[in-house]
């Protein structure tokens, strides 16, 4: 279902983005894009163009030549849909929203190309409506499905053409999406616009509420994994995706639920992906009561040199356990196991 309109560089950039996400510890899941694509088509092929018409109707009626011919052609089409067309489209939109709701509920974010390709000004001037519609292949559905998103650069082709991806999630998840996007953008090493400076992740600040504590999790409590619901039930709020300093090992522990044990190593340590969650102090106590030995809370050093409370395992308990450090994170390990 991926569509790049023959642009091999755009396809390569998207694969680069997916590889980078895996290396950052993300678990990638393929989804059915058909309902998103159908919703995107509704925006310009459905009665929503009537919204443009009612805004510009007076001007177009009084002085149509004052409006650019392309804009005029698109806007005047908004005078044609009937009330029946509007209701049919609204009913279809509700069905499409229902179709994507369970998909969105099972993910932290959707990652799509910001645009499927890039066109020259000359190409757009020669075929403006069709090419502009193509550019919205992966974004025209966002407003109709009430999503939020953050676009970030991925790479610049040898020809100097920039490519990017957009992280999308339901409205209200802006902070979580921005945190994912910021971690991704910092990992690209690309300069920020014309500044020439690369983006660095700022140190995590202490929770503004003194009654809360930031806690770093690495295993089954990660977003979307079996025990994440406990964090949320205890009042947890997602803060950021993070990476440890390159000083830790990850080992597979025994138990009904797969989980890793993280421990600091004297040598041959690695940077491991995790998530920081903010919990009320009462929730911390309730969470600790559910954590079996050999796990406990300790001080974890992050890649920016700051420290945060996090789940660590007793060094003696991981001796002889399968070493899964090379995966770079528990999500990546699980993804490797499922192929």
pLDDT for the residue numbered 185: 86
- Indicate the Cα dihedral angle 235, 240, 245, 249, nearest 10°: 60
pLDDT digits (tens, 9 = 90+) for 308-317: 999 999 988 8
pLDDT for the residue numbered 204: 55
Encoded tokens for 117: 């390709």
Q: Specify which of 223-227, 282-286, 321-325 reaches the highest per-range mean pLDDT.
A: 321-325
> ∠ CA(256), CA(335), CA(14), 5° rounding?
155
- The secondary structure of 141-154 as a DSSP string is TTTTTTEEEEEEEE
Q: Average pLDDT, stretch 223-238?
A: 89
Question: In angstroms, rounded to a whole number, what is the distance separating the alpha carbons of residues 144 and 2?
Answer: 21
Confidence of residue 84 (pLDDT cuts 50, 70, 90): very high
Confidence of residue 189 (pLDDT cuts 50, 70, 90): confident
Question: In angstroms, rounded to a whole number, what is the distance separating the alpha carbons of residues 199 and 137?
Answer: 28
pLDDT for the residue numbered 110: 96
What pTM value is reported for the model? 0.61
Measure Cα distances from 108 to 161, 170, 198, 253 in Å. 29, 9, 26, 25
Q: Average pLDDT, stretch 40-54?
A: 91
Where do the domains of the chain lie, and which CATH numbers do they carry?
8-46+81-147 (no CATH), 212-338 (3.10.490.10)
Confidence of residue 113 (pLDDT cuts 50, 70, 90): very high
Confidence of residue 201 (pLDDT cuts 50, 70, 90): low
Whether the pLDDT of residue 258 is over 90: the answer is no
Residue 35 contacts residue 94 (beta carbons within 8 Å): no
Which residue matches tokens 């998530």? Answer: 275
pLDDT for the residue numbered 42: 93
- The secondary structure of 168-212 as a DSSP string is EEETT-HHHHHHHHHHHHHHH--B-GGG-PBP-PPPPPPPSSTTE
pLDDT for the residue numbered 268: 87
Name the residue with higher pLDDT: 116 or 173: 116
Query: What's the mean pLDDT when you consider all of the chain?
Result: 89
């Amino acid at each position: 279902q991926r569509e790049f309109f023959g642009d091999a560089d755009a396809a390569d950039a998207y694969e680069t983005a997916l590889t980078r996400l895996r290396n950052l510890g993300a678990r990638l899941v393929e989804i059915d894009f058909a309902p998103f694509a159908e919703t995107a088509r509704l925006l310009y092929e459905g009665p929503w163009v009537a919204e443009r018409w009612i805004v510009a109707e007076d001007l177009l009626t009084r002085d149509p030549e004052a409006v650019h011919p392309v804009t005029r052609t698109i806007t005047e089409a908004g005078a044609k849909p009937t009330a029946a067309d509007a209701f049919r489209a609204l009913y279809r939109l509700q069905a499409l929203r229902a179709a994507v709701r369970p998909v969105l509920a099972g993910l932290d974010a959707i990652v799509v190309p910001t645009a499927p390709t890039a066109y020259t000004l000359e190409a757009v001037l020669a075929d403006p409506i069709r090419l502009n519609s193509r550019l919205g292949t992966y974004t025209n559905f966002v407003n109709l499905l009430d999503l939020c998103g953050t676009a970030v650069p991925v790479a610049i082709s040898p020809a100097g053409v920039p490519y990017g991806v957009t992280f999308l999630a339901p409205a209200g998840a802006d902070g979580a999406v921005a945190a994912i996007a910021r971690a991704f953008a910092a990992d690209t090493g690309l300069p920020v616009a014309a500044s020439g400076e690369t983006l660095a992740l700022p140190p995590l600040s202490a929770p503004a509420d003194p009654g809360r504590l930031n806690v770093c999790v690495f295993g089954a409590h990660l977003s979307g994994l079996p025990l994440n619901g406990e964090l949320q039930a205890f009042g947890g709020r997602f803060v950021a995706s993070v990476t440890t300093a390159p000083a830790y090992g990850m080992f597979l522990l025994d138990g009904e639920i797969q989980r890793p044990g993280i421990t600091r190593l004297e040598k041959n340590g690695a940077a491991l992906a995790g998530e920081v969650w903010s919990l009320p102090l009462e929730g911390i106590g309730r969470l600790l009561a559910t954590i079996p030995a050999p796990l406990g809370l300790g001080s974890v050093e992050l890649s920016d040199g700051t420290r945060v409370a996090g789940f660590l395992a007793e060094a003696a308990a991981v001796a002889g356990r399968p070493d899964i450090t090379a995966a770079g994170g528990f999500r990546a390990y699980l993804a490797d196991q499922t192929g």
